[in-house]
Amino acid sequence: MLNDAVLTGRRRDETSRDAAEAPRSWMPQPAPAVPAGDDVTVMRTAILAKLAYALGKTPATARDRDWFVATALALRDRAVAASAISAGIVPPKRVHYLSLEFLIGRLLSDAMGNLGVAETVRAALAGLDVDLEAVAGAEPDAALGNGGLGRLAACFMESMASLAIPAYGYGIRYDHGLFRQVIEDGVQREVPETWLAEGNPWEFERAEAACEVGFGGDVAMSVQPDGTLRRVWRPAETVRAVPYDTPVIGRGAKHVNALRLWAARAPEAIDLARFNAGDHVGAVAERARAEAISRVLYPSDGTPAGQELRLRQEFFFTSASLQDLVRRHVAERGDLRSLPDHAAIQLNDTHPAIAVPELMRLLVDVHGLSWEDAWHVTTQTLGYTNHTLMPEALETWPVELMERLLPRHMQIIYLINWMHLEEVSKHGSSPEHLAEVSLIDESHGKRVRMGHLAFLGARRVNGVSALHTELMRQTVFAPLHALDTDKIVNKTNGITFRRWLHNANPGLTALAVEAVGAKVLDDPRHLEGLAAFADDSAFQARYAAVRRERKEALARVVEERTGIALDPDALFDVQIKRIHEYKRQLLNILETVALYQAIKAEPHRDWTPRVKLFAGKAAPSYHQAKLIIRLASDVAKRVNADPDVAGRLTVAFVPNYSVSLAESIIPAADLSEQISTAGLEASGTGNMKLALNGALTIGTLDGANIEIKDHVGPDNIFIFGLDAAGVQRVQAQPGYASRAIAASARLRGALDMIAAGGFSPGEPGRFRPLVDELTHGDRFLLTADFDDYWRAQREVDAAWRRPKTWWKSAILNTARTAWFSSDRTMREYAEEIWRVRVG
Minimum separation from the CB atom of position 577 to ligand 26V (A): 9
Which of the ranges 142-150, 320-328, 666-674, 778-786 carries the binding residues for ligand 26V, by CB under 6 A?
142-150
49 Cβ partners below 8 Å, 6+ apart?
74
Determine, following the binding rule CB under 6 A, whether residue 387 of this chain makes contact with ligand 26V: yes
Which of the ranges 145-153, 285-293, 412-420, 805-813 carries the binding residues for ligand 26V, by CB under 6 A?
145-153
Determine, following the binding rule CB under 6 A, whether residue 383 of this chain makes contact with ligand 26V: no
Which residue, 358 or 681, has its beta carbon nearer to ligand 26V? Answer: 681
Which residue, 152 or 437, has its beta carbon nearer to ligand 26V? Answer: 152
Minimum separation from the CB atom of position 721 to ligand 26V (A): 17
Which of helix, strand or coil describes residue 503? helix
Mode of pairing for the β-strands spanning 718-719 and 102-105: unpaired
Which of the ranges 6-14, 248-256, 390-398, 801-809 carries the binding residues for ligand 26V, by CB under 6 A?
390-398
Minimum separation from the CB atom of position 703 to ligand 26V (A): 5
Quick one: which of 675, 670, 617 has its CA closest to 799?
Answer: 670
Question: In the set 43, 149, 362, 394, which binds ligand 26V (CB under 6 A)?
Answer: 149
Q: Which of 106, 329, 578, 584 is catalytic?
A: 578
Minimum separation from the CB atom of position 659 to ligand 26V (A): 14
Determine, following the binding rule CB under 6 A, whether residue 107 of this chain makes contact with ligand 26V: no
- The separation between CA 628 and the C-alpha centre of its own chain, rounded to angstroms, equals 22
Determine, following the binding rule CB under 6 A, whether residue 579 of this chain makes contact with ligand 26V: no
Which residue, 3 or 146, has its beta carbon nearer to ligand 26V? Answer: 146
> Using an 8 Å Cβ cutoff, are 125 and 47 in contact?
yes
Which residue, 122 or 449, has its beta carbon nearer to ligand 26V? Answer: 449
Q: How far apart are CA 98 and CA 318, in angstroms?
A: 7
Minimum separation from the CB atom of position 453 to ligand 26V (A): 17
> Using an 8 Å Cβ cutoff, are 441 and 348 in contact?
no
Q: How far apart are CA 825 and CA 724, in angstroms?
A: 24
Handedness of CA 705, 707, 709, 712 (dihedral sign): negative
Within residues 54-93, the interface with ligand 26V by CB under 6 A covers none
Minimum separation from the CB atom of position 617 to ligand 26V (A): 13
Q: How far apart are CA 112 and CA 160, in angstroms?
A: 17
Which residue, 349 or 358, has its beta carbon nearer to ligand 26V? Answer: 349
How many binding residues for ligand 26V (CB under 6 A)? 21
Q: How far apart are CA 192 and CA 233, in angstroms?
A: 37
Which residue, 318 or 493, has its beta carbon nearer to ligand 26V? Answer: 493
Q: How far apart are CA 374 and CA 557, in angstroms?
A: 55
Q: Which of 408, 449, 481, 577 is catalytic?
A: 577
Determine, following the binding rule CB under 6 A, whether residue 393 of this chain makes contact with ligand 26V: yes
Build a one-symbol-per-residue string for 662-701: x at contacts with ligand 26V by CB under 6 A, - elsewhere: -------------------xxxxx----------------
* Phi, psi (rounded to 5 degrees) for 541: -65, -40
Determine, following the binding rule CB under 6 A, whether residue 584 of this chain makes contact with ligand 26V: no
Determine, following the binding rule CB under 6 A, whether residue 626 of this chain makes contact with ligand 26V: no
Minimum separation from the CB atom of position 824 to ligand 26V (A): 15
Longest Cα–Cα distance in the chain:
93
Which residue, 309 or 390, has its beta carbon nearer to ligand 26V? Answer: 390
Quick one: which of 309, 306, 281, 308 has its CA closest to 295?
Answer: 309
Within residues 759-818, the interface with ligand 26V by CB under 6 A covers none
Minimum separation from the CB atom of position 450 to ligand 26V (A): 13
Q: Is 714 exposed, middle or buried (0-12, 13-18, 19+ CB in 10 A)?
A: exposed
| The dihedral formed by the CA atoms of 466, 467, 472 and 473, expressed in degrees to the nearest 10 | 80
> Using an 8 Å Cβ cutoff, are 462 and 152 in contact?
no
> Using an 8 Å Cβ cutoff, are 694 and 814 in contact?
yes
Minimum separation from the CB atom of position 145 to ligand 26V (A): 9
Determine, following the binding rule CB under 6 A, whether residue 588 of this chain makes contact with ligand 26V: no
Which residue, 266 or 666, has its beta carbon nearer to ligand 26V? Answer: 666
Question: In the set 13, 38, 185, 392, which binds ligand 26V (CB under 6 A)?
Answer: 392
> Using an 8 Å Cβ cutoff, are 683 and 782 in contact?
no
Which residue, 313 or 493, has its beta carbon nearer to ligand 26V? Answer: 493
Q: Which of 542, 630, 689, 709 is catalytic?
A: 689
Which of the ranges 154-162, 359-367, 387-395, 483-491 carries the binding residues for ligand 26V, by CB under 6 A?
387-395
Determine, following the binding rule CB under 6 A, whether residue 144 of this chain makes contact with ligand 26V: no
Q: Is 184 exposed, middle or buried (0-12, 13-18, 19+ CB in 10 A)?
A: exposed
Determine, following the binding rule CB under 6 A, whether residue 106 of this chain makes contact with ligand 26V: no
Which alpha helices (H) appear in 574-723, and where do they start and end? Answer: 585-601, 623-641, 659-665, 686-692, 705-712
Q: Is 761 exposed, middle or buried (0-12, 13-18, 19+ CB in 10 A)?
A: exposed
Within residues 152-211, the interface with ligand 26V by CB under 6 A covers 152
Q: Is 314 exposed, middle or buried (0-12, 13-18, 19+ CB in 10 A)?
A: buried
Q: Which of 583, 584, 766, 816 is catalytic?
A: 583
* Phi, psi (rounded to 5 degrees) for 264: -90, 135
Minimum separation from the CB atom of position 396 to ligand 26V (A): 13
Determine, following the binding rule CB under 6 A, whether residue 432 of this chain makes contact with ligand 26V: no
Minimum separation from the CB atom of position 550 to ligand 26V (A): 24
Quick one: which of 685, 821, 825 has its CA closest to 387?
Answer: 685
Does 387 qualify as catalytic in the annotation? yes
Minimum separation from the CB atom of position 543 to ligand 26V (A): 27
Which residue, 146 or 588, has its beta carbon nearer to ligand 26V? Answer: 146
Which residue, 338 or 621, has its beta carbon nearer to ligand 26V? Answer: 621
Which of helix, strand or coil describes residue 829? helix
Determine, following the binding rule CB under 6 A, whether residue 703 of this chain makes contact with ligand 26V: yes
Does 685 qualify as catalytic in the annotation? yes
Which of the ranges 267-275, 383-391, 713-721, 773-781 carries the binding residues for ligand 26V, by CB under 6 A?
383-391
Q: Which residues in 206-350 belong to E strands, given as ranges?
A: 211-215, 218-223, 229-234, 237-249, 256-265, 343-348
Which alpha helices (H) appear in 23-147, and where do they start and end? Answer: 37-53, 64-84, 108-115, 118-126, 132-137
Q: How far apart are CA 575 and CA 565, in angstroms?
A: 18
Q: Is 602 exposed, middle or buried (0-12, 13-18, 19+ CB in 10 A)?
A: exposed
CA distance readout (Å), 15 to 2, 6, 116, 140, 337? 18, 9, 12, 32, 47
Q: Which of 44, 240, 387, 711 is catalytic?
A: 387
Determine, following the binding rule CB under 6 A, whether residue 493 of this chain makes contact with ligand 26V: yes
CA R_g for the chain: 28
* Size (the chain), residues: 839
Q: Which of 15, 509, 685, 783 is catalytic?
A: 685
Does 689 qualify as catalytic in the annotation? yes
Q: Please give the residue whose beta carbon sits closest to ligand 26V in the complex.
A: 302
Q: 615: part of which helix (H) or strand (E)?
A: strand 610-615
Question: In the set 41, 303, 490, 744, which binds ligand 26V (CB under 6 A)?
Answer: 303
Minimum separation from the CB atom of position 387 to ligand 26V (A): 4
Does 577 qualify as catalytic in the annotation? yes
> Using an 8 Å Cβ cutoff, are 144 and 101 in contact?
yes
Does 578 qualify as catalytic in the annotation? yes
Does 254 qualify as catalytic in the annotation? no
Question: In the set 8, 294, 388, 540, which binds ligand 26V (CB under 6 A)?
Answer: 388
Determine, following the binding rule CB under 6 A, whether residue 464 of this chain makes contact with ligand 26V: yes
Which chain residues interact with ligand 26V by CB under 6 A? 147-149, 152, 301-303, 387-388, 390, 392-393, 464, 493, 582, 681-685, 703
Catalytic machinery residues: 387, 577-578, 583, 685, 689
